[in-house]
Amino acid sequence: MDEDAIMPASGEALALDTRESYDASVATLGAWAHAYYVRDDPVVSDEAYDRLFREVAVAEGAHPEWASAISPVRRVGGDVLPGFRKARHPQALLSLANVFDRDGVQAFDRRVASALPDPSVPRFVVEPKLDGLTLALTYVGGELVRAATRGDGEVGEEVTAQAVTIRSIPLRLGGGGEGVPPYLAVRGEVTLPRDAFARLNVAREAAGEPTYQNPRNAAAGSVRQLDPKVTAARDLRFTAYAATALEIVPEATGSAPLGVPATAEAGGVRAVPGSAGVVDRLRPVAAGASPFASHWDALRLLDAWGFRVNSKSRACADVDEALVALDELQAERPHWDEETDGLVVKVNDLATQERLGSAGKDPRWAIAYKVSVSDVVVTRLLDITVQVGRTGAITPLAVLEAVRLGGVTVTSATLHNADQVQALGLMIGDWVRVERAGGVIPAVLGVDCDGSRRDGSERPWTFPVDCPACGSPVTRDADEAVARCAGPTCPAQRAARVRHFVGRSAVDVAGLGANWIDRLIAAGMIDGPADLYHLTAAQLRGFEGQGMGDVLATKLAESIDRTRTTTTLGRFLFGLGIRHVGAETAEMLAPIAGSLGNLLFAVAAEDRDARIAAMHAQALETRGIGLVVARSFATALADPGMHTQLERFAAGGMAPVPPVAPLEPLGNGPLGGKVVVLTGTMSQSRDAIAALVSGAGGKVTDSVSGSTSFVVTGEKPGAAKVKAAGRHGVAIISEAELRTLLAGRNG
Ligand code: IVH
């Protein structure tokens, strides 16, 4: 709705020609606006609203004496003010002490525990901590008489004329003010929702005006405007988070009134008769006299009186429930349509709040839970490209209009996989929400405003059927989210493999950037990482035509050479880019591999299958290595390409440093290489039998897996182990059978 644009020209025909029809129309508009701005649930079309608004405005023009205090015409903003008046708050506006983790919340619970009443009412309320501008509203006789900014907490600035333009601030409270205390303070936050913020900045940029840094600054800047029409034009939102009943200070002994009472001149507020002057003589009633049973109850009443209250707030029986609420809300925070700078935990019982009081500027009954969430910004999706990874995985990548995010300029973000693009319903040209969580690669969260910002120029995107680098078909296993390039010689895969190999966490070849890798591959000088060790300085210098100078060529040859003898075997294994083998698991696999020579020997030997199987078994026995990694390692070793590659590394003089203590190979003996699980009571202690097994070259482990050779059952064997043996197809034998094997007989 845009009342500003539909103000009537003077002299229009009068549709509302009686006071009654005018008043009824004002009330109707109030109800419609409440549905739209507070409930987010419009009940009529914008056109219908605008039509009636216009009639009301025309009637007011013809009969200024009809003008109602709750007329929506006030929402378009009054005259420009000469300056801001000071306003003393009837109750100091406190700030909040921060806690940064669950321990902080538990410590808070311990501090307040002794003051809390019997747990008949929920002990805590957990709320979003909206990141905007605090506003303190004063209602007299159910009508808004003053709005003030926080200032120093004691004295703020009066912004009533600006506040009346914020549609979610009720001008008069619920249905004629029934049940509303005669004097009421309402506090809350003015925010600019993310999409409104984005629109505002787009418009400002187009107009050559400076853009706002963040929604909080934009909200504050929009309220602190001497021209209320500017405030009116911003899609600001007010969310109430506290209410206090006030009373008149019996005798005016306190400080002299600072503000001039709100009148039609001072900000255009038409206060109820008798309210003038009163606003500066108010103070909170004692908790015992409060019309609110609890903070939660106050929120419920604020809602009933027409305020927007945060639908995310939760009443929690105890600290455990509060912690659950904090976790859940924390996870939701990035998806909310307005920014928060934390969550708030408040003691629910008002008498307890009063008893706890405050320590300096911080109440003892509330804390701010400040665990940062990732930053989210809105920007334009300019294009979607795909990246081919070292395993051929094809990842869609969002090309973004440059945007500041978490302190860096972001121009691209991952889209994870094809399903993601579909699930998010992205179209090229969309406004998208982008998140950067704690230093990781930015990711696209979704289309901003559910696509309502689309103008028809957006284009759909489809996943490529051929690899953009080599033209091979893109394949996708039914059980995999990832699409892969099936090309065996795909240059993009090769480049990705080399990039991975020379990367910081792998072999760390200084000075070999992505650009040079692409060019070396394109020039046919390298096919994979092992070829780097066959490049000579002379060859690299000969690459000069491509822009590699003498100095650079020498340096690069040197840094490659350095890695021949300084790379640890773990880093080397990680550098091979075996699927599922991360930097850490590679370190764990290193003792199993032993050395490059050992590995090469294993994959080249006649009994290579047995050797690889033994390494597979050893991997499985290593703490921290699971089935997937062990299988992937074994599969990679069995690949004929691995043999060729390792040979080429060795021939190039690559000699990774072996781990300090290579694992003792499984022994020889009647149980050589066997992995045994014991369960149930046997004729000797478990330790004694385990010693027998290892003496015969085998090994005893605790849990049954695919690599278990057999399970030995004594009396009352563990059901889980027997079951697991069945699941993995592992043989079950008796103690007697084990003893036969130990004796070296085969049955
Ligand atoms: S309670 C005594 N509740 O956070 C309690 N404050 O540090 C004081 N804020 O600028 C405020 N959301 O405007 C409370 N749900 C919420 C809030 C909230 C945002 C702001 C508040 C003030 C700051 C307090």
Ligand 1 pocket member 216 (CB < 6 A): no
Supply the pLDDT for residue 259: 43
Same-domain status, 331 and 357: yes
pLDDT higher than threshold 80 for residue 119:
no
- Residues 521, 383, single domain; the answer is no
Say yes or no: CB of residue 241 within 6 Å of ligand 1.
yes
Question: Which residue, among 630, 611, 648, 597, has the nearest Cα to 707 in the 3D structure?
Answer: 630
Contacts of 658 by beta carbon, 8 Å cutoff, 6+ apart: 569, 590, 594, 595
Is any ligand 1 atom within 6 A of the Cβ of residue 96? Answer: yes
- Do residues 68 and 36 share a domain? yes
Do 104 and 44 have their domain in common?
A: no
Is 383 among the domain residues? yes
Whose CA is closest to 339, among 197, 166, 162, 168? 197
CATH of the domain at 429: 2.40.50.140
349 lines ligand 1 (CB under 6 A): no
Ligand 1 atom 10: residue of nearest CA = 134
Q: What is the mean pLDDT of residues 505-509?
A: 91
pLDDT band at 110 (very low <50, low <70, confident <90, very high): very high
What is the distance between the alpha carbons of residues 587 and 198, in angstroms, rounded to a whole number?
A: 47
Residue 130 CB–ligand 1 contact under 6 Å: yes
Do 276 and 356 lie in a common domain? yes
Of all protein residues, the one whose alpha carbon is nearest to atom 12 of ligand 1 is: 129
Boundary residue ending a domain (349, 369, 389): 369
Using the atom order of ligand 1, give the atom closest to the CA of residue 131. Answer: 19
Specify the amino acid at residue 34: H
pLDDT value for 592: 93
Range of the domain at 428: 377-463
Q: How far is CA 424 from CA 199, 446, 454, in A?
A: 21, 5, 15
User: For residue 747, is pLDDT > 80?
Assistant: no
- 539 and 687, same domain (yes or no): no
> Is 661 within a domain?
no
**Which region among 9-23, 333-347, 449-463, 596-610 has the lowest average model confidence (pLDDT)?**
9-23
Query: Does residue 321 lie in a domain region?
Result: yes
Cα 95 to averaged position of ligand 1 atoms, centre (Å): 7
Residue at which a domain ends, from 312, 339, 369:
369
- Over range 415-441, report the average pLDDT: 82
Q: How far is the CA of 344 from the centre of ligand 1 (A)?
A: 8
3-state secondary structure of 436: strand
Same domain, 284 and 150: yes
Question: Is the beta carbon of 92 within 6 A of some atom in ligand 1?
Answer: no
Question: What is the predicted pLDDT for the residue at 624?
Answer: 80
The helix/strand/coil state of 155 is strand
Judge if the beta carbon of residue 363 lies within 6 A of ligand 1. Answer: yes
> pTM of the entire structure?
0.55
- Tell me, yes or no, whether 468 lies in a domain: no
Grade residue 177 by pLDDT with cuts at 50, 70 and 90.
Answer: low
Q: Looking at this protein, which amino acid is placed at residue 638?
A: A
Counted domains in the chain = 6
Distances (CA, A) of 353 to 94, 116, 730: 13, 9, 64
The answer to whether position 477 is within a domain reads no
Q: How far apart are CA 336 and CA 165, in angstroms?
A: 24
The verdict on residue 382 lying in a domain is yes
Does the pLDDT value for residue 691 go beyond 80? no
Residue 263 has pLDDT above 60, yes or no: no
Residues 36, 119 within the same domain: no
Residue 127 CB–ligand 1 contact under 6 Å: yes
Same domain? 352 vs 215: yes
502: pLDDT confidence band, cut at 50, 70 and 90?
A: very high
Least confident piece of the model among 26-35, 106-115, 254-263, 284-293: 254-263
Q: Tokens 């599922």, residue?
A: 580
Same domain, 361 and 387: no
pLDDT number for residue 121: 78
Is pLDDT above 70 for 265? no
Is there a domain that residue 429 lies in?
Answer: yes
Write out the catalytic residue numbers: 129
Instruction: List, for residues 653-674, the tens digit of each pLDDT value.
Output: 999 998 875 444 445 677 888 8
Where among 617, 651, 685 does a domain terminate? Answer: 651
What are the distances in angstroms from CA 471 to CA 476, 492, 493, 636, 688? Answer: 15, 11, 12, 25, 62
**Atom from ligand 1 closest to the CA of residue 365:** 2
Bridge partners of 126, per DSSP, are 314, 345
Residue 483 included in any domain = no
CATH of residue 134: 3.30.470.30
Longest dimension (CA), the chain: 114
* Alpha carbon distance 1, 46 (integer Å): 6
Q: Which residues of 265-303 are buried (b: 16+ CB within 10 A; e: fewer)?
A: ebbbbbbbeebeebbbbbbbeebeebebebbbbbbebbb
Which domain CATH number covers 36? 1.10.287.610
Which mutation among 99, 112, 134 tests ligand 1's pocket best, with the greatest number of atoms within 8 A of CB? Answer: 134
Query: pLDDT digits over 128-152, tens only?
Result: 999 999 999 999 999 999 999 999 9
Does one domain contain both 431 and 453? yes
Q: What is the CATH number of the domain that holds 696?
A: 3.40.50.10190
How much distance in Å is there from the Cα of 618 to the middle of ligand 1? 57
Nearest CA to ligand 1 atom 15: 129
**58 in Cβ contact with 8 (< 8 Å):** yes
Ligand 1 centre from 96 Cα, in Å? 7
Query: 19 CB contacts (<8 Å, ≥6 apart)?
Result: 63, 66
- The CATH number for 638's domain is 1.10.150.20
Q: In whole angstroms, what is the distance from residue 568 CA to residue 658 CA?
A: 6
The arithmetic mean of pLDDT across residues 261-269, rounded, is 38
Alpha-carbon gap, residue 439 to 406, rounded angstroms: 8
Residues 130 and 195 in one domain: yes
pLDDT of the residue at 374? 66
* Protein residue with its CA nearest to atom 18 in ligand 1: 129
Counting from 1 in the atom list of ligand 1, the atom nearest the Cα of 189 is 13
Residues facing residue 88 across a β-bridge: 155
Indicate the pLDDT class of residue 190, thresholds 50, 70 and 90. Answer: very high
| Ligand 1 atom closest to 187 (CA) | 13
Distance of CA 252 from the midpoint of ligand 1 (Å): 30
CB-ligand 1 contact for 95 (6 Å cutoff): yes
Q: Which residue has the CA at smallest separation from atom 13 of ligand 1?
A: 134
Count Cα neighbours of 152 within 13 Å in the Cβ-side half-sphere: 4
